Chains A and B, each alone.
Chain A
């Protein structure tokens, strides 16, 4: 793991120097929350949601947007760009292992995700009276598993993309179905039952539902947590088979 610390610090600096990443990964979900939080329809208790406001079930989908942005779109674009430019190949000739860089990337993206989620929680719970998760530890478990399953898909995209353009293109195309099933347009109980049944088999459908369940105090969701574990493990195994350090 030679150089892990240095890679992590360096990649964090590089990520912070790309304003576009911070704009879409960090600022966008927070801005969406601020905008929705001030729309009357989001703030009115809805009998279809058992008297809850839409806003009250909207944090898991927004957290899912952050996870997808950073764990799927950004990381696959960064890695396929690094491969295309020979950066991974160059590293393969040093005593550091390219795998070290991969892990450093995941840590960096996970940290930025966690910061964004913290911001969302502070704004949502602090300023908009959204109730805090009843089972906070359970929520963290669901969040980490959701992040892991999306990272795995991000790595798989980076592994399969022949070049940087294809990498970021594929990442963007996958973004919409992933956040659709996470309930960005039909949050929580607003999602039709049949769609929810399908969504549970997608990484962030399962993730969003598991986070919402932890919010409601019922964190143990074997099916949803299991689906995420399968994505995380399966994706990483497939990526490790397919990942090429050289273009």
Chain B
């Protein structure tokens, strides 16, 4: 049975339809991503899943339960990290963990959790004295303190520096490996590509695609570009003659071959036949950025 089932969800704010017929399911043990630009309806959708908002249409089920009607039963099983949710300034890290732990029937060990999140030396710091990354890690700890079966994390790496982001990603993978299903909301392509087993791409309140990141990328009709420095000059006509190759461009420093399908194999084989070694070989492929552009006609940053 799926952990989360969203079917034809509709949510309106006054005249604006924020979520317009969204459907997807999240399976046990996966990291499921909701990817889309700001204002695509991502947060509204997860807030319906968390029981914070009442849908105007469609249905949301978590473990087969209704997030509003069965709120009491669900809150023990669903851990939540909200976007931009804070704690009182003068609350200490230790106190926050203990307070939230006391709200659950079977909480995780606060100290163990802080250890995993690298916050042990901040136990007696006030919330207001934590850095952005530390606050973010604390809010992840609070989402996991109740030993949830599913955790909903909204924009978990916003405001983190690159190394803190990578640490957070590793942590999320560890949590998933413990059997926790994770619903991840993000507008970062690299985060979705790196972490998600499957993802739903949101645009203007609708789901435009649901699949694994690699399947989504494969669907995109886009060129592969192979960059290399040949060990000796190559006649570009030889490369152009290959069926996979669409263009060859040679500059003073490198050769760039553009093509489709398995162009990399075709090029390296042809070079080997000429006894040319391809130094500093680099392949540029489509990524989720291209997927998003192709599906919506605009970049996620717009």
Contacts and interface: CB of A to CB of B under 8 A. Distances in A.
A47 interface: no
B52 A92 contact: yes
B72 A95 contact: yes
B88 interface: yes
B240 interface: no
A7 B99 contact: yes
A18 B100 CA distance: 22
Contacts of B95: 10, 13
B102 interface: yes
Nearest to A78: B88
Contacts of B99: 3, 6-7, 10
Nearest to A2: B103
Interface stretch (A81-89, A134-142, A209-217): A81-89
B175 to A, nearest CB: 17
B86 A86 contact: yes
B146 A87 contact: no
A142 B105 CA distance: 41
B90 interface: yes
B52 A95 contact: no
Interface stretch (B30-38, B76-84, B222-230): B76-84
A94 B103 contact: yes
Contacts of B82: 86, 89-90, 93
A95 B84 CA distance: 20
A89 B86 contact: no
A21 to B, nearest CB: 11
B87 interface: yes
A95 B104 contact: yes
Contacts of B85: 85-87, 89-90
A96 B103 contact: yes
Nearest to B78: A93
Provide the main secondary structure of the chain A interface.
Answer: loop
A94 B146 contact: yes
A38 interface: no
Among A13, A82, A86, A93, residue most surrounded by chain B Cβ atoms (within 10 Å) = A93
Provide the main secondary structure of the chain B interface.
Answer: loop
Contacts of A90: 80, 82, 85, 142
A14 interface: yes
Among A3, A10, A18, A246, residue most surrounded by chain B Cβ atoms (within 10 Å) = A10
A6 B85 CA distance: 20
B20 interface: no
Contact of A85 (B75, B86, B104, B142): B86
A10 B78 CA distance: 24
A17 interface: yes
Interface in B41-98: 50-52, 72, 75-76, 78, 80, 82, 84-88, 90-91, 95, 98
Nearest to A93: B80
Given A6-B102, A13-B95, A87 B52 contact: no
Contacts of A14: 88, 90-91
Contacts of B50: 93
A57 to B, nearest CB: 38
Among A13, A94, A246, residue most surrounded by chain B Cβ atoms (within 10 Å) = A94
Contacts of A18: 90
A8 to B, nearest CB: 11
Contact of B91 (A2, A10, A246): A10
A158 to B, nearest CB: 15
Nearest to B50: A93
Contacts of B76: 95
A94 B86 CA distance: 15
Nearest to B152: A93
Interface in A75-118: 82, 85-87, 89-90, 92-96
Nearest to A11: B88
Interface string B168-187: 00000000000000000000
Nearest to B96: A10
B103 A87 contact: no
A82 B91 CA distance: 12
A86 B52 CA distance: 12
Contacts of B102: 3, 6
Given A95-B103, A96-B103, 19 more contacts: A3-B103, A6-B103, A10-B99, A13-B95, A14-B90, A14-B91, A18-B90, A85-B85, A85-B86, A86-B85, A87-B88, A89-B85, A90-B80, A90-B82, A90-B85, A93-B51, A93-B75, A93-B82, A94-B146
21 contacts: A2-B103, A3-B103, A6-B98, A6-B102, A10-B91, A18-B90, A85-B85, A85-B86, A85-B87, A86-B82, A87-B85, A87-B87, A89-B52, A89-B85, A90-B82, A93-B80, A93-B82, A94-B100, A94-B103, A94-B146, A95-B72
